Amino acid sequence: MYSAYRKVIIIVLLYIPSLFTFANEQCGVVNMSSNNEFVLDLLRINNEEIYQRKSLNKMLEGRYTINLAPGTHVLNIGIFDKSEYKRLWMKGRSVNYAKSLKGRLIRLDIDVNTHYSLALSEDNSTIVVNEKESACSVATGGNIFGEKLAEYIDHEPLPNQEEAQLNSIMNRLANTFTGGTNNNAVANVLPLKVDQYFGTVIDNEYTENGTLKVLSVLPYSLAAHYGLRSGDEIIKLGDMENFKQNTSARAVMNNFLLAAFENRKKKTKYINLTVRRSDKLIEIGGKFTPNLIPQSAYTIGNVPAHNQMVNYQELPEKLNFEYERFLLTLQDYYQKKGITDKQVIVKRDRQRSKRIGFSGQEVIGQGLKVMGMEDNSVLKSVGVKKGDLLLYLNEDKKLIDQARSFAESLNRLDENEAFSLTVLRNDKVVILSGYFQVNYTPSFALNIDMASIEKGLKLIKNAKFGNPLNRGVIHNKFRNKTYRSGKVSSMREPRVGQVVTKGS
């Protein structure tokens, strides 16, 4: 007896594969172990569902195996309470509806004629692997799962802004998970999932006409897809026109989005808005097609390249937001280059970082006020404090009041070169001195599975969207908020004393 798994979209889109090769090709063997409390069940491989007979006894005893083609694969593994798993199986119900279901995402390198035993760690928090040499013996006509994607390896620099953003994000990932040391290495795999942001920033106050004002729109978001623009006035949300209520303008927008996307009575969901733009009324919106963030993985530093298993690690919320928005940028960039069905690998060698690691306010004609510093910032190493007003670098009497030119001047210094900073602190002039320590962006490889988007759309089409499974990985509610970059610029010439927020 075996269970035919329904196609279910798990909130983070836990995935699996149906593509397979025949038994005359080489393979490795993966075994799902179990313990006294939990059963491990392979749900998806490389974002595609698997169709293979399963024996309940083998599942409960941890003897279930599957043959995978050589190469790197991403596995979605369900962790089930053993008694509930057995009860649902005996009733002929899909175990994907188990209340105890938890999901784990791993990335595993498969070698020929190697046996990989996957099991829970002692505290049941992560999945560990034990491997040994073992022939991959498949009866004639048997299946080998996990088709390897073609790779597009990109060593060439991205456009200037995107390249700077790439290095900044990878630096922050390195600092977050290695403590900023250049010797440690880190690897992570992140799932294909639905973008949880609609993509607008709405003014919290109503306009004089009682309408909603769009302050900004995230690139590559649903809002951008529907055609919303910064400066639009939303005068109608669906059939609702009179917005002024006891709630804020943003709350009105949030409630409208939640009602539209979580309406379980409507299988096909639509969103319709009427906006005023340049004194013209425009109808925008349409059928809801989820905006998907592609599956990705990264390695930073010298991570062993072979037979390395990587467990999914959740990123801090703000960093995760910026990472996902950047993935959407890269997805658009490579799609325009005609790359839609390959594994894009963006590789960079270790290089000197131009990032100074501070944020400040440009007070034109007065100096550069330090608002914050990273732990490894060169400014912090020479004694600069938050609130200091930077005045001069070395003997140069040219006032420091522009963040970019100051960063460029610092980056012209050599490793261990002596330098001094004149700062204003508590109305007193203080001269600080030290030696310039160069920060380095470690070597890294960022993998983007371009084919995962099409696979994800198929999963959504064939599944009940929004099924509340896979607790704790990501929720499927759209948020009508976004992090502000903190960077404010002026279209006109800044005046003396004007404060302009910058970061470097």
pLDDT tens string 436-491: 988 888 899 999 999 998 888 877 776 543 432 232 223 333 333 333 333 322 22
pLDDT tens string 183-216: 568 889 999 988 888 889 999 888 888 889 999 9
Name the fold adopted by 200-287. Answer: Pdz3 Domain (2.30.42)
Q: Is the dihedral of CA 148, 153, 159, 160 positive or negative?
A: positive
Query: Is residue 493's pLDDT more than 50?
Result: no
For the sheet containing 418-425, what is the strand order? 428-435, 418-425, 389-393, 367-373, 358-363, 499-503
Residues of the chain with CATH 2.30.42.10: 200-287, 356-438+495-503
- Give residue 47's pLDDT band: very low, low, confident or very high (50, 70, 90): confident
- Looking at residue 458, its pLDDT comes to 79
Distance CA 38, CA 446 (A): 33
Q: Is the dihedral of CA 329, 330, 332, 337 positive or negative?
A: positive
- Looking at residue 504, its pLDDT comes to 45
Instruction: Output b/e per residue, 327-363; b: 16+ Cβ within 10 A.
Output: bbbbbebbeeeebeebbbbbebeeeebbbbbbbbbbb
Say how many C-beta atoms besides its own lie within 10 A of residue 202's C-beta. 22
Distance CA 265, CA 448 (A): 35
- Looking at residue 152, its pLDDT comes to 93
Q: Say which range, 237-251, 269-283, 309-323, has the weakest mean pLDDT.
A: 237-251
Averaged pLDDT, 12-18: 36
Q: Taking Cα atoms as reference points, which of 300, 297, 337 lies closest to residue 443? A: 300
Half-sphere exposure of 6 (CA within 13 A, CB side): 16
CB 299 within 8 A of CB 185: yes
Which residues, in sequence order, are CB contacts of 189 under 8 Å at separation 6+?
Answer: 74, 105, 106, 107, 295, 296, 297, 310, 311, 312
Distance CA 228, CA 219 (A): 10
* Residue 141, SS3 per DSSP: coil
**CATH classification number, 356-438+495-503, choose in 1.20.58.1030, 2.40.50.430, 2.30.42.10, 3.30.420.130:** 2.30.42.10
% of the chain with per-residue pLDDT over 90: 34
Alpha helices in 317-356 (DSSP H): 317-336
The C-alpha angle with vertex 82 and arms to 39 and 84, in degrees rounded to 5, equals: 125
Q: Is the dihedral of CA 10, 13, 19, 21 positive or negative?
A: negative
DSSP state string for 186-224:
EEEEE--EE--B--EEE-SS--TTS-EEEEEE-TTSHHH
Which one-letter amino acid corresponds to residue 282? I
- Looking at residue 430, its pLDDT comes to 94
* Residue 279, SS3 per DSSP: coil
Burial of 317 (0-12, 13-18, 19+ CB in 10 A): exposed
Residue whose token pair is 């809801």: 288
Which residues, in sequence order, are CB contacts of 305 under 8 Å at separation 6+?
Answer: 109
Residue whose token pair is 């799609």: 335
* Residue 106, SS3 per DSSP: strand
Which one-letter amino acid corresponds to residue 66? I
Averaged pLDDT, 162-179: 86
CB 46 within 8 A of CB 73: yes
pLDDT tens string 216-270: 999 999 899 999 999 999 999 888 887 766 688 888 888 888 777 666 555 567 7
Q: Taking Cα atoms as reference points, which of 355, 458, 345 lies closest to residue 407? A: 355
- Looking at residue 329, its pLDDT comes to 96
β-pair partners for 73: 108
* Residue 86, SS3 per DSSP: helix
Distance CA 281, CA 301 (A): 53
DSSP 285: E
State the DSSP H helix or E strand holding residue 421, giving kind and residue range, or none if neither. strand 418-425
Q: Taking Cα atoms as reference points, which of 353, 352, 351, 356 lies closest to residue 402? A: 356
- Looking at residue 274, its pLDDT comes to 92
Residue whose token pair is 């594969």: 17
- Looking at residue 291, its pLDDT comes to 87
% of the chain with per-residue pLDDT over 70: 80
- Looking at residue 307, its pLDDT comes to 47
Tokens of 420: 């001094």
How far lies 54's CA from each of 5, 19, 51, 63, 175, in Å?
Answer: 11, 18, 9, 10, 43
pLDDT tens string 331-390: 999 999 999 888 999 999 988 887 788 888 988 889 999 998 887 788 988 999 999 999
Strand pairing class (151-154; 343-348): parallel
- Looking at residue 249, its pLDDT comes to 86
Query: Is residue 60's pLDDT more than 80?
Result: yes
Burial of 396 (0-12, 13-18, 19+ CB in 10 A): exposed
* Residue 250, SS3 per DSSP: helix
Averaged pLDDT, 301-309: 63
Averaged pLDDT, 29-44: 91
pLDDT tens string 105-117: 899 988 888 899 9
- Looking at residue 369, its pLDDT comes to 93
- Looking at residue 19, its pLDDT comes to 43
* Residue 453, SS3 per DSSP: helix
CB 271 within 8 A of CB 149: no
